Amino acid sequence: MTVARTGSIWGATMLRRRMLVSLEINNRDRAYDWFLGWMAHRASSGTASRAAPWIRSHELSVETMIERRANGSSSVFFQLVAGPGTHWFKYKGAWMQVKRERETRSMMGGQQPGMSVPWETVMLTTLSRDRALFPQLLAEARDLGMQGQEGKLVIHTAWGIEWRPFGKPRRKRPLQSVVLEPGMGEKIEQDIKAFLARRQWYADRGIPYRRGYLLHGPPGSGKTSFIQALAGSLSYDICLLNLSERGLADDKLNHLLSNAPERSFVLIEDVDAAFNKRIQTSADGYQSSVTFSGFLNALDGVASGEERIIFMTTNHVEQLDPALIRPGRVDFSALIDNASPLQARTLFQRFYGEGSNVELNPDELDVLAQNLEDIVEEKLGREQRVSMAALQGHFIRNQPKDAVASSLDLFTGILKKEP
């Protein structure tokens, strides 16, 4: 009896091994969400029910999604995805079993509060002869998952030692909507394009293929907006790196910088703040353990053919250690300053010009724009200039005529508030 039992178990195992093939996808992989989304899409769009009227999904999980529309409104909807348990579906004539399992004892996501999630896996099983369907299915799931991202900007943040998309992909901001000093935007754009075209040149000379940019200047002058718009225009993603993040240590930082997703800029904001004090303390009193030398080493990284583009921003360039801004770490540095006369004029025209619902004929608009330019040019000293963000706020609050008439108050008012 025992021999027969063992024999039948062994036989069944052998048969399964010979006839079945399984594919494991875990939730560290991007394919995981794509696959669940794809299953949910098939179930809701009726593809699955036509192919398999009795698709078994007794256990469902809910995913809440927020859709933001171009006009600013948004709506919340729910997607029912296959929950933990066993499900069946038919794909291109082949039956597939899906087993979703959750491991609650260990969590992923590191020590970041509220960000850890249980490990999960999805095991797809089908007949050996249908194994070629796996790549097709995954490619379909990927295309569906990426659909919403086309033409959008994806922001990644660090999750433990890996990068994960943060929130829904955002609408790209047109590059021209960020008004910088004439020629400045173009200069940075040309530099990065030239860099991207010289991969082979770097490889031939054994130079690490990376470039660092530092945009410095007062708050609200458009540094972040410009970097995001530039990434969008080049179809790059942004990896937002917070050096004072809880749990970030030198080794993790090194790993993150060496493993940023392809076609992405690493953006480190307020880089001066991270090393002002020897040990950085975050709002909840947690001490980040990234050291200055660890950061420098991570920036240098191991020489590799991998492309790496880092953008850093700061309001206090004078406080940066010269070691940080030496060529190789920062190859291009630019001052993005408060609104110059021409910038104020251009922002005004963009704001109230074509497409805005303000009724002004082009001549009137020109005269007002000229007045504003003159005020910034003649009535104010350089140090009295205000940020583009302050001007933007002023334009939002006022009609064009009032905006120009009260602009001097804005400029001097802001000045008075400053010590």
Q: How far is the CB of 232 from ligand ATP (least distance, A)?
A: 13
CB of 224 to ligand ATP, least distance (A): 3
Nearest-approach distance from CB 389 to ligand ATP, in angstroms:
3
Q: Least CB distance from residue 271 to ligand ATP, whole Å?
A: 11
Instruction: Write down the least CB distance from residue 227 to ligand ATP, Å.
Output: 8
Q: How far is the CB of 82 from ligand ATP (least distance, A)?
A: 40
- Strands (E) in 315-417, as ranges, are 332-335
Q: Which CB, 79 or 315, lies closer to ligand ATP?
A: 315
Is the CB of 137 or the CB of 309 nearer to ligand ATP? 309
Site residues for ligand ATP per CB under 6 A:
178-180, 219-225, 313, 315, 347, 388-389, 392
Q: Which is nearer to ligand ATP, 160 or 222 (CB)?
A: 222
Give the residue among 114, 98, 108, 117 at the shortest CA–CA distance from 25.
98
Residue carrying the six token digits 């062994």 = 10
For the chain, the first-to-last Cα distance in angstroms comes to 93
Asked if residue 298 lies in contact with residue 274, where contact means CB atoms within 8 angstroms, the answer is no
Nearer to ligand ATP by Cβ, of 207 and 358: the residue is 358
Rounded CA separation 390/414 (Å): 9
Query: Cβ closer to ligand ATP: 224 or 254?
Result: 224
Minimum CB separation of residue 335 from ligand ATP in Å reads 11
246-249-255-259 Cα dihedral, nearest 10 degrees: 30
Question: For the chain, how are helix, strand and coil distributed in percent, rounded to 5?
Answer: 40, 25, 35
Q: Which residues of 59-69 are buried (b: 16+ CB within 10 A; e: fewer)?
A: eeeeeeeeeee
State in angstroms the smallest separation of the CB of 231 from ligand ATP. Answer: 13
The nearer residue to ligand ATP, 50 or 68, going by C-beta atoms, is 68
Which residue's CB is nearer to ligand ATP, number 316 or number 401? 316
110 torsion bin: left (phi>0), alpha (psi -120 to 50), beta (else):
left
Whether 394 contacts 226, CB under 8 Å: no
The dihedral over CA atoms of 37, 114, 69, 268, expressed in degrees to the nearest 10, equals: -110
Nearer to ligand ATP, 208 or 353 (CB): 353
Question: Where are the alpha helices (H) located in 46-110, listed in sequence order?
Answer: 47-51
Q: Which residue is nearest to ligand ATP (CB)?
A: 222
| Of 175, 134, 122, residue with least CA distance to 21 | 134
